[in-house]
Each structure stands twice: as structure tokens, then as C-alpha cells.
Chain A
Amino acid sequence: MKRKKEIAKVLSQKEIAKDIFDLWIESQSVTADGKAGQFVSLYTGDESRLLPRPISICEIDSDRNALRLVYRVTGEHTGTKIFSKMTEGDEIEILGPLGNGFDTSIPEDAILIGGGIGIPPMLELAKERSGKSYIVTGFKDSTFLMEDLQRWGEVAIATEDGSAGTKGTVLDAIRDNGIKADVLYACGPTPMLKAVKEYAKEEGIEKVYLSLEEKMACGVGACLACVCKSKEVDSHTHVKNKRVCKEGPVFSAWEVEF
């Protein structure tokens, strides 16, 4: 069999903002084959929480086979809460890399737009790209990953409460800072992705790549839980339901409807 789960060792973990955790784990498979925009299935190790949690790749450090995952704890009795308690030396079952990932070969200047917990994948994307990256980040209040992102591109910030950067949305920050580019990459909540698509239409930007999120079960394309509405028929069912875990999570904005 070509693929299997891997037992990864936790290298370090810290809380970098409220409920946002920065986890480094050692992984052969993901650091060897993974790329920006792909994700990893994390298993809780708790037999009463069966489903893997899909977490996007934040950063890959191939030199030390290290994979960085930055995720949000979604509640008190959740799988992510279990992950957040792990410390150096703990073991965690993972499967990945999964999904298609971003096209990083596009050389033109690009705006990398991340909203909330959609920001982490923008770090590895900015790292892997050759073209110039403007990284626009949207937060509710407190920011995270700023120093890391600043190493790979020009960073603009939007916060809902105005505590940092532009008060408002990521699009307000783009306009505020006069940022222009021919390519857009975005990951974040659906209303943000919708707004990015509208913005691209207004500006006539054709190369627009959105990373979608949907509730998943298997993570490998078998169960058909995580579909999204697509313009073209999908390869599996030949209807217009692309699988976020398999054909995605990254889609051209013009390919998906939401």
C-alpha cells in the first residue's frame, strides 16, 4: 500500500493568541511531499472522537522534518482541545499531505489574503512563491504570526475592532494600503471568500485561488461529505459537486459557487 498514517512526535507547542495554538511536529511524509495549501488529518487518539481533524499546513521546515500547524481550539470538549494539551515528546497520529494545495509557480505579484484561522496557510504559500507577496491578514482583535509573515512579504492588517491596522475587513486593508496585484490567494470564512471573489470581479483579476473549508469525515475522497458546488461537473459523481478534500481545498474562484 502506498500510503499510511504516521505517528508524529510533538516538537513544541505554544498558545500564540487566545485559543490559537502553534504546534510543531516531526513528520517524514508531510515534509517530504507536502506543499502550501494542502492539509493534514490529525487524529485525536480519543476513541470517542472518531473523525480526523483537517488542519492546513502552516509551514514546512524540511531541514529538520518539521511541520508547523497553527489551529484554533473550537471549544471546551473538542478534538482541538485535546491537541492543545500536547507537549514536546507526545505522539500524535497524522495522515497527509492531503488535498491539492496552491499553485505556487505563478511568478506575478500576488495578494495573499487570510482571515482568522485562514491565515496560517498563507505563511507556507508566501515562502514557496517566487513572485512578490502582499500578505493581507484579517483578525477579530489580537494578531498572530506577524513576524513570521513579515519575513516573506509585505504585511497589511485589518482588525474588526481597529486595535491593529485598518479597522474593518481584509478588503478595507487592501484599499487602505493601495495594494494592487494580478493574482489573489485567499483562505478564511465564507463571507470573506465571497467578498474576495466580488473584489476580483470588480478589479478584473482572473487568477483567483480560494481555499475552502467544509466538514469532513474520511479526508481522502471516499465519503462525499465535504463537497462544494462547482461550475463544471466533478470527476467523481459527474454532477457539480467537487470534493473539498480531494479536488480541493484550493479552487479557482470561478470554478466554485457559494
Chain B
Amino acid sequence: MNTKVSIAGVELKNPVMSASGTFGSGEEYSEFVDLNQLGAVVTKGVANVPWEGNPTPRIAETRSGMLNAIGLQNPGIDVFCKRDLPFLKQFDTKIIVNVCGRTTKDYMEVVERLGDEAVDLLEINVSCPNVKHGGIAFGQDPKCLLEVTREIKRVAKQPIIIKLSPNVTDIAEMAKTAEAGGADCVSLINTLLGMKIDIYKQSFSLANRTGGLSGPGIKPVALRMVHQVANAVTIPVIGMGGITSWEDGVEFLLAGATGIAVGTANFNDPTSMIKIKNGIEEYLKTMNFDNVADIIGLVK
């Protein structure tokens, strides 16, 4: 059984990885999950300087999902390189660093800084719906996206993944734009912009008013977008959005995702990624596939 997949020349032992923002830099969850079993760990977004994030409440549960408006709280690249990277290097898994910024220069600073580090891939977060500057602004305007991708690509030593927002009219166009800018891979979907109202307080449930919707409720939307994008670009696609079970994971692979990221499901079950990985292997065995690559994009 071969479960290996290749993303921009980087070989992952299996397609399963954490979705950025739900898994920190792996340390907290390493108490519950053997990180060595994952294809990759995708870190929470890291910026050039520490970010405090949004006021609380930052979380609200919804039916079959949740809204978050953390606001990319992160310790900045210095602490990340000193503390989080050495921690992650102990494990036999690929390291994908999610990079966030308010300006193109911010992104470039982080990307340049990571150039000499043992990082396998960079995921560029141009799709966070919860910060006022940067984030989604880059991911909703094709011109901005093209420019930021090109600029980052100019300085990046590792292959770059552009993380796309579903909060656009045509996500395939955005994926093609990222590809044209030199992106080595695209990942999608980031969260869908949503809202919840506290009927007893008669105010917003989140201090930020709006937040990003994730969880199994968004899976059909995510799957449709992954399928659309996988058929629009030639670079590999990492699929995510509500993946909770191994069946979900198989659907994304069939739709054309080379890698699959698991986020919100970790909150419900810290071992969900391992179960998904094992379930996919079982599926391949049962369906007589020797190679996970054989099912990627099988449903055209």
C-alpha cells in the first residue's frame, strides 16, 4: 500500500495534515496525537511580529459547525523559529508554515526569514476573514493576489501554497490567478464568513461581529470548490473544509485534492486525523487500490 503523495516536489508519507489555526504548532496536541503519523503539520499563521488577535468571545458554536474570529493571534516569527520549529523538527513529518501579514512586505519578511529554516512548504494566508488589514483583502482581489503571489515567490526558497478564500464569486479564477503568479500549490477552503446573534443579550455572539464558519456544515461547499479548482489548475490542490471522517477525506481525494487538511474535527476528537488516515488506508485496501495517488481526481 502506497499512501505517499507529492506536493511541489515534497513527498508526504500520507495526504493527511492539520488545517492551519486549529492545531497551534502541534505542541499542545502532541499529548494526544502521534505527530509522526501525519503527512504534515500545518502551523497556525505566523506574522513578522506578534499579533494580539481579536477581543473575546472569539468562538461560537453553530449547528454542524463553529464560527471563529481569533484574529490570527501569534507570537511572531522570532519566537516561532526559536521555540516552535525546533519542537516540530523532532518529528518525522513535513512542516508547512502558514504565513500571515497585513502588507506584502510583512509576508515577504516572514518568507525570507524562513528561507534558511528546515521548513518544507509555506502556506500563504491571503484568506483570513477576521483581520481588518491583509488576510482576505489579498485573496478577494485578483490583482492583489497576483501581485502578492509574485512578490512572495520572488523571495521564497520553499515552494508556496496559496490558501484561498471561499468568499469570492469565482474561486477557480482566484486559483488560476495564484497559479499565474507562480504558486506551487493552492489550498482551500478557508472559512466562510458568517454571523451568530445572542438572542438573550441581543448582540453579536462574537466580539468581532462576524467570524469564519468551519466544520462539517461547510463540507459540501468546500468539496464543490475543490473539485472546481482541481479541474481549473495544473498545480496540486490541498482540500479542506469540514473534513471530519475518513469518508470525507476520500471524497476530497476523489474530487482532486492531493492533500487533505483536518481542522475543526480536532476540537471534537484530537485523534481524528489518525482515524482519517487509517480509514483511507482501509478504503484503498477494500477497493483494491495499491496507491492513494490512483484515486486523486478520479471523479472528473
Contacts and interface: CB of A to CB of B under 8 A. Distances in A.
A241 B75 contact: no
Given A224-B70, A225-B70, A238-B75, A214 B61 contact: no
Contact of A222 (B24, B53, B59): B24
B269 interface: yes
Contacts of B268: 43, 47, 50-52
30 contacts: A5-B270, A43-B268, A47-B64, A47-B216, A50-B65, A50-B216, A50-B264, A50-B265, A51-B66, A51-B267, A52-B267, A79-B61, A217-B68, A217-B267, A220-B28, A220-B31, A222-B23, A222-B28, A222-B29, A223-B68, A223-B267, A224-B53, A224-B73, A225-B56, A225-B68, A227-B58, A237-B50, A237-B74, A239-B50, A241-B53
B22 interface: yes
Contact of B66 (A47, A50, A224, A227): A50
Interface string B44-84: 10000011110011111101111010100111100100000
Interface residues of A, number: 36
A207 interface: no
B279 interface: no
Interface residues of B, number: 44
B21 interface: yes
Interface in B248-275: 264-271
Contacts of B57: 214-215, 225
Interface string A227-252: 11000000011111100001000000
Contacts of A5: 269-271
B244 to A, nearest CB: 8
Interface string A21-52: 00000000000000000000001000111111
B215 interface: yes
B215 A50 contact: yes
B267 A48 contact: no
Contacts of A219: 267
Contacts of B58: 215, 224-227
Contacts of A214: 56-57
Contacts, number: 123
A85 interface: no
Which of A47, A49, A224 gathers the greatest number of chain B CB atoms within 10 Å?
A224
Contacts of A227: 53, 56, 58, 73
Contacts of A241: 52-53, 73
Contacts of B117: none
Contacts of A145: none
B66 A217 contact: yes
Given A47-B268, A50-B65, A224-B44, 7 more contacts: A1-B32, A1-B33, A3-B32, A219-B267, A220-B29, A227-B53, A241-B53
Interface centre among A2, A50, A227 (most CB of B within 10 A): A50
A49 B31 contact: no
